[in-house]
């Protein structure tokens, strides 16, 4: 069972929900895929047992073989290669690779008619693996200045342990890193707040999850501030409301000290367990619906 925790915007309490859900369950693995700014470790304080450098393959040109035909530049959708062909003015030609723009698709090396391109590994970040008590913990840290977070997220997800309940803390937003994080999840928890910004970003996140075909529900954090438009949106769109977390100065203080809520406010353990039960029954209902639709199609 893979449950990802995402939010259309940062600062909604996504990591709070992910960490406290993980600490309220048994047999859990936690993956922090917010690789640009991982912060779940501040709460888990994991015992790191292994570290692995994350790399992506980028092209390296052997100019002694290159005839500057430009085919590699033309295939590259990300403008990561510049080729200056030799002519009457420039006798020797030139080729330049911009590794930060490269998406490691491998297209250029496949297409080069001169076999002048070989792939070399470029370091993009670090993966750390450890544990916090019984919880298995994995997170990625993207190198400063690096922009290619999806390959690092995919490498973090290679550590998924299928015999555990896997909680994935996804990055905020609705772009490629979020999709790389939530893809393959059985369920996604969307954390939002009851404000116009929260609603706007929730609507975008809902669209993404519908396109990906991932079942989801909503947690409203700081639920007693703002307005009721998020509630109405969920009602109108039949989106399960999984939990409300009120604005609480004590929770904010615990967060600022890196202390999980469930450690100090034990009543939240049951609340997160109840949310997990609700997620499981929602998934069961969805599976039943899919089964009855496909049975109907067969009949």
Q: Which residues bind ligand SF4 (CB under 6 A)?
A: 59, 61, 66-72, 75-76, 78, 80-81, 83, 95, 102-108, 112, 114, 116-117
| Residue 173 · residue 37 · CB < 8 Å | no
> Judged by CB, which is closer to ligand SF4: 115, or 235?
115
The strand order across the sheet containing 216-221 reads: 47-61, 117-132, 135-142, 28-32, 165-169, 2-6, 187-192, 216-221, 241-245
> Judged by CB, which is closer to ligand SF4: 21, or 95?
95
In angstroms, the CA 56 to CA 122 distance is: 5
For the bound state, the minimum distance from the C-beta of residue 73 to ligand SF4, rounded and expressed in Å, comes to 7
For the bound state, the minimum distance from the C-beta of residue 63 to ligand SF4, rounded and expressed in Å, comes to 8
Chain mean position to CA 191 = 14
For the bound state, the minimum distance from the C-beta of residue 210 to ligand SF4, rounded and expressed in Å, comes to 29
For the bound state, the minimum distance from the C-beta of residue 146 to ligand SF4, rounded and expressed in Å, comes to 14
Interacting residues of 290 by C-beta distance below 8 A, sequence separation 6+: none
Q: How far is CA 199 from CA 74, 104, 174, 218, in A?
A: 41, 36, 14, 11
> Judged by CB, which is closer to ligand SF4: 120, or 204?
120
> Judged by CB, which is closer to ligand SF4: 104, or 191?
104
Q: Are strands 81-84 and 94-97 parallel, antiparallel or unpaired?
A: antiparallel
Chain mean position to CA 147 = 14
For the bound state, the minimum distance from the C-beta of residue 248 to ligand SF4, rounded and expressed in Å, comes to 47
For the bound state, the minimum distance from the C-beta of residue 71 to ligand SF4, rounded and expressed in Å, comes to 4
> Judged by CB, which is closer to ligand SF4: 106, or 258?
106
In angstroms, the CA 242 to CA 178 distance is: 21
> Judged by CB, which is closer to ligand SF4: 95, or 188?
95
> Judged by CB, which is closer to ligand SF4: 85, or 200?
85
| Residue 187 · residue 212 · CB < 8 Å | no
For the bound state, the minimum distance from the C-beta of residue 108 to ligand SF4, rounded and expressed in Å, comes to 3
Q: Counting every residue, how long is the chain?
A: 299
In angstroms, the CA 248 to CA 202 distance is: 22
């Amino acid at each position: 069972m893979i449950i990802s925790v995402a939010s259309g915007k940062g600062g909604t309490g996504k990591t709070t929900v992910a960490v406290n859900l993980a600490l309220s369950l048994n047999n859990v693995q936690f993956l922090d895929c917010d690789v640009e700014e991982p912060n779940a470790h501040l709460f888990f304080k994991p015992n790191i047992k292994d570290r692995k450098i994350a790399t992506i393959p980028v092209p390296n040109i052997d100019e002694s073989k290159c005839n500057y035909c430009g085919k590699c530049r033309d295939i590259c959708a990300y403008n990561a290669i510049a080729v200056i062909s030799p002519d009457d003015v420039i006798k020797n030609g030139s080729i330049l690779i911009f590794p930060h723009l490269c998406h490691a698709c491998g297209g250029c090396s496949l297409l080069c008619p001169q076999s002048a391109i070989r792939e070399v590994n470029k370091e993009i970040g670090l993966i750390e693996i450890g544990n916090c008590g019984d919880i298995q913990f994995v997170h990625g840290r993207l190198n400063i200045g690096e922009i290619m977070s999806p390959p690092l997220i995919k490498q973090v997800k290679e550590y998924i342990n299928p015999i555990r309940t896997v909680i994935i803390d996804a990055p905020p937003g609705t772009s490629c890193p979020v999709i790389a994080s939530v893809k393959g999840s059985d369920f996604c928890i969307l954390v939002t707040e009851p404000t116009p910004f929260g609603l706007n970003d929730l609507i975008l996140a809902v669209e993404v999850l519908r396109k990906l075909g991932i079942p989801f529900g909503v947690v409203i954090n700081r639920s007693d501030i703002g307005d009721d438009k998020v509630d109405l949106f969920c009602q109108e769109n039949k989106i399960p409301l999984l939990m409300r977390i009120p604005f609480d100065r004590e929770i904010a203080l615990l967060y600022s000290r890196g202390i999980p809520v469930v450690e100090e406010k034990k009543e939240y353990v049951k609340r997160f367990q109840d949310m997990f039960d609700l997620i499981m029954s929602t998934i069961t209902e969805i599976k039943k619906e899919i089964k009855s639709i496909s049975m109907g199609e067969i009949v």
